[in-house]
Structure 1
Amino acid sequence: MTLDEYTPYRLAVASSAVSTLISTAYDSLYGLKIPEWRLIMILREDGPSTQQALVKRGGMDKVTISRAAQALAKRRLITRAPHEHDGRSHHLILTAEGERLFADVAPAAAEYEKVMLADFTPDEVATFKKLLRRVEEAALKAQNNR
């Protein structure tokens, strides 16, 4: 086995390169860190969510979600509402200002994805995304079986 052929290493290096590219732009243009942008995207797509649901959906740990939520709440991009069935929990909700920021950032995010995948055919992109989902599912399954 060599490091350059070790799949977990390749995934980590690729993920780091993509995150660095995107985080530099998001931070300088919009003052957003990657977890904050991911949280905005999830809330935009899924609607109000608890932090526990965001941990599952976002692939981030509880501390990362909590810090991102605090930063977004401080900027009034999200708000917190009491959970109707669990007094210890609350829902995070994207505000109108958060919606406006999403509308500003989304085209840039789509453009970064387009640039990253420019050398791939549409079929290769579809296969790549399908394979990434399968790798994720396999890793989660192995993790749950431990």
Structure 2
Amino acid sequence: MGNAFAKALKPFGLNLSEWRVCASLLYVPHQTLSELSVHATSDISALSRIIDRLESQELVKREKSTTDGRSIRIALTSKGDELALRIVPVAKQHESVILTDFTASDVQVLRAMLLKLYENAGALDDLA
């Protein structure tokens, strides 16, 4: 499933982890590393390397927070925004294939259950 989408990302020059970051920033702009690590499901150290790669491609930028000078926020550049918007239809096409034969109600229930599962998985960090 992820492998097919990873292949679809190749022509855009992104891998799956980089896409998760770009997609997250497309829908929730100007995130801190901590916020982004939750939304992009990546630990901070791996995320920092991903951000470095995306920044070197001029797809994201680091900005000082306007409300907290110590905080750095990550945002898509206009180039990153344009790229992400070009990938969205491809992502939606893959999602559509995966969700074939699911009713709208099924999809709504599935998303709610996955969200609960994801939130519960976060509690595992407290066990470590």
- What's the TM-score once normalised by structure 2's chain length? 0.87
Partner residue of 2:9?
Answer: 26
Question: Is there any run of 5+ residues in structure 1 with no aligned partner, and where?
Answer: 1-17
Alignment partner of 2:45 out of 43, 63, 76: 63
Partner residue of 2:119?
Answer: 137
Q: Which residue type is aligned with residue 141 of structure 1?
A: A
CA distance in 1, matches of 2:116, 2:4: 25
Cα RMSD (Å): 1.8
Partner residue of 1:73?
Answer: 55
Partner residue of 2:18?
Answer: 36
Taking only the aligned residue pairs, the percentage that are identical comes to 25
Greater relative contact order (Cα < 8 A, sep 6+): 2
Q: Residues 125-146 of structure 1: CA distance to partner in whole angstroms, max 9, x if unpaired?
A: 1111111112222222354366
Query: Are the equivalent residues in 2 in contact too, given 1:79–1:95 (CA < 8 A)?
Result: yes
Number of aligned residue pairs: give it: 127
CA distance in 1, matches of 2:15, 2:105: 31
- What's the TM-score once normalised by structure 1's chain length? 0.77
Question: Is there any run of 5+ residues in structure 2 with no aligned partner, and where?
Answer: none
